[in-house]
Structure 1
């Protein structure tokens, strides 16, 4: 059978020749006795054995993986350890018992992470993640000749990044890597190594609205990784230049899963005061999304608290924005109204060059509003703003002609709303006749 498709249940049905291993002195007589008591027993019986003599079994499993290289036996033992830790993750502490002070408990799993088949790799990754996370706070990472915790964490991160770049298994490689990362990124060394390995950019494409149970779990754990990275400055610098923020906003708009919404909102709360994230969030319409989310019935108190804090932070951010930032927010949200800046000559003179930013992004949005909006007020204001651009920008007519604004404006000359037709007429006159002559006619 293809090892990539092996299941733990299939592997644990095997009969391993423990007696032969004792005869060839690969295991001791005591080890054989303990294995006979444990192997093929019920979960409740094994649980009692681990309660009574857990460190001894941890030593046995490590020693077998260190000394025996037969693939079927290695698969069997990593399946035993994985089953033991899955049933109770706290058992990972057994591998840090004082009685194992002279055992290199990390080395066999770390070696097999790179040299084993997929079944072995997947199990060793999960086992190492749990064992590392369960280590005492003041663990000795400098035992001479032993694998240090730094070695383990760096090796794990390198393997996880390799899986995200080119998975060993087509469907389980990436989910396994993300699952382990969502635990390991609590470690400062893992964060720094992950960023150095260029791992952040490997996460961003995985931030996407999900529908199936499996894809929702992957999305949640990916967002959990981003949240953990939002506490680490070098990672924040990368997130600021990636597509992470708009992707997270798409997720929070589309997701109904509370745990996904919660971790994304907590990430936004962390990022809000950093760099230009606040302005980006306003540009992307996050204040309106937060208002919508607050109106929904959430049971998680942390989520409700985070939404309130985020709303307040965004409100403060908007207050600090310049007049052009406010104008830009209004345009990008498509919520145009006759706020004072539209008819303020000083605003247009001081900010006219800002309209050239991002390949005339604001002008393109205004032209799109003429095509798509059904709001008469928004249409009237958009026409007026385009006419103002012609008046104050030396190449205004040429730029708007290149953006195909003429046809859109002309269509609005027959609009039912008088305010729309009035401003469409002004804009069309400036498009065809030039700003000064059009102003003269209007006068």
Structure 2
């Protein structure tokens, strides 16, 4: 692909002179089409707007027939540029393609074919135009599209299902292997953010294995362009969060940690809003609630609530998410809750720490994942500056030593002793008290240290 074709602009293409008379003499366009084109070509936008208001469907018929019958690249580019300009000036003109007078025309077919045949300019314009036309289909009063069944019954025409499937395949192909280094992904996500409102597109996108192509794009953004790409990607995920088969895929991928990573660091209100709305949708599905608690979302929601957002939907969603997360925490087992506390580093004197039954019932659970929770507990002794967290960590280590058959050996092997001894000189009395208890248990065994537990 020549780079000059890739970087063509609509304005550049529209400066061309197209030999319409030659096309008429070779019977590729009719005399009526020639008259309409002469009236429209190289005219100011206000004049063209009036022509489209008066005779829009006739112009659409001419444009579609040229794209169907003429294959010269410069002419195809020119007509696509005319349509693009017409729809950019007023997207509602996409409805002209559905005018009853065009019922016998196959308005979709040329654009669908050009998605795969043309250079980047032709592909990009065809994609954008097709997405607008498809979205402008007439709707009935219940919100469904009026002419879908009718178009499906016309065998000679490209059906709406063909169009949506073809579009999704092309968009997924661009996300996998972009035709243009900087614009293909942006264009594809932009179109998907419009098209995924349709159940048929969601189904087709999941079947084409498209969901996994979105996940790498969910990462903190730095430039204005990448913020827009991130926003539209998250918009796609939000639309997919209403569709069960997509939710199953989101549950088994890295989507949730990535969304939480972005919402933690983003200052763009529209990005935060669409992610929070997505998380609210997913909260009660499968194991999402427990995963969100595990990834520290309750603390992040608290932090977001303290910021000055202007969007009422966002504030309401944050409140609903906070309540839902509280319900999830209540449902967790006591050891699950303990794990969340340790993994988040937010240790406090919640009842389980001093509950002998908790330690007796759960002591062997500490061996899971190569003693992961115990290792994190010991790391807190080095990393935390919160005296309460340090005191609780020392106390919990002393409990582990007391209740686990090999507690003293394990804690010694994990080099905890040196870290606890440093805390015996801490300025906070609570920290020194429980550091001393831990060391007593480590050296002397439980019975000699019991008097310190009070």
Matches within 5 A, 1:8-407: 8-136=10-138, 137-139=145-147, 140-142=150-152, 143-397=154-408, 399-400=410-411, 403-407=414-418
Shift in Å at residue 30 of structure 1?
Answer: 0.6
Partner of 1:439: 446
CA change 1:100–1:335 in 2 (3 A) is same
Question: Do the aligned residues in 1 keep the contact of 2:440 with 2:449 (CA within 8 Å)?
Answer: no
CA change 1:430–1:442 in 2 (3 A) is closer
Shift in Å at residue 163 of structure 1?
Answer: 1.2
| Selected match of 1:4 from 3, 6, 9 | 6
**What CA distance in whole angstroms lies between the structure 2 residues aligned with 1:196 and 1:150?**
14
**What CA distance in whole angstroms lies between the structure 2 residues aligned with 1:395 and 1:239?**
41
Shift in Å at residue 349 of structure 1?
Answer: 2.3
CA RMSD of aligned residues (A): 1.9
CA change 1:385–1:158 in 2 (3 A) is same
**What CA distance in whole angstroms lies between the structure 2 residues aligned with 1:337 and 1:144?**
69
Question: Do the aligned residues in 2 keep the contact of 1:164 with 1:173 (CA within 8 Å)?
Answer: yes
Matches within 5 A, 1:420-439: 420-428=431-439, 430=441, 433=443, 437-439=444-446
CA change 1:74–1:364 in 2 (3 A) is farther
Q: Comparing 202-211 with 385-394, which one deviates more in the overlay?
A: 385-394
Which stretches in structure 2 are left out of the alignment for 5+ residues? 139-144
Question: Do the aligned residues in 1 keep the contact of 2:174 with 2:185 (CA within 8 Å)?
Answer: yes
Output the TM-score relative to the length of structure 2. Answer: 0.92
Shift in Å at residue 317 of structure 1?
Answer: 2.2
Output the TM-score relative to the length of structure 1. Answer: 0.94
Q: Comparing 359-368 with 279-288, which one deviates more in the overlay?
A: 359-368
Q: Comparing 249-258 with 158-167, which one deviates more in the overlay?
A: 249-258
**What CA distance in whole angstroms lies between the structure 1 residues aligned with 2:11 and 2:350?**
68
Question: Do the aligned residues in 1 keep the contact of 2:178 with 2:185 (CA within 8 Å)?
Answer: yes
CA change 1:352–1:145 in 2 (3 A) is farther
**What CA distance in whole angstroms lies between the structure 2 residues aligned with 1:442 and 1:146?**
86
Question: Do the aligned residues in 1 keep the contact of 2:283 with 2:324 (CA within 8 Å)?
Answer: yes
Which stretches in structure 1 are left out of the alignment for 5+ residues? none
Q: Deviations over 1:390-411 (max 9, x none)?
A: 3334454565456553443343
Q: Deviations over 1:125-154 (max 9, x none)?
A: 111111111112121232112211111111
Question: Do the aligned residues in 2 keep the contact of 1:373 with 1:379 (CA within 8 Å)?
Answer: yes
**What CA distance in whole angstroms lies between the structure 1 residues aligned with 2:414 and 2:96?**
68
**What CA distance in whole angstroms lies between the structure 2 residues aligned with 1:356 and 1:154?**
50
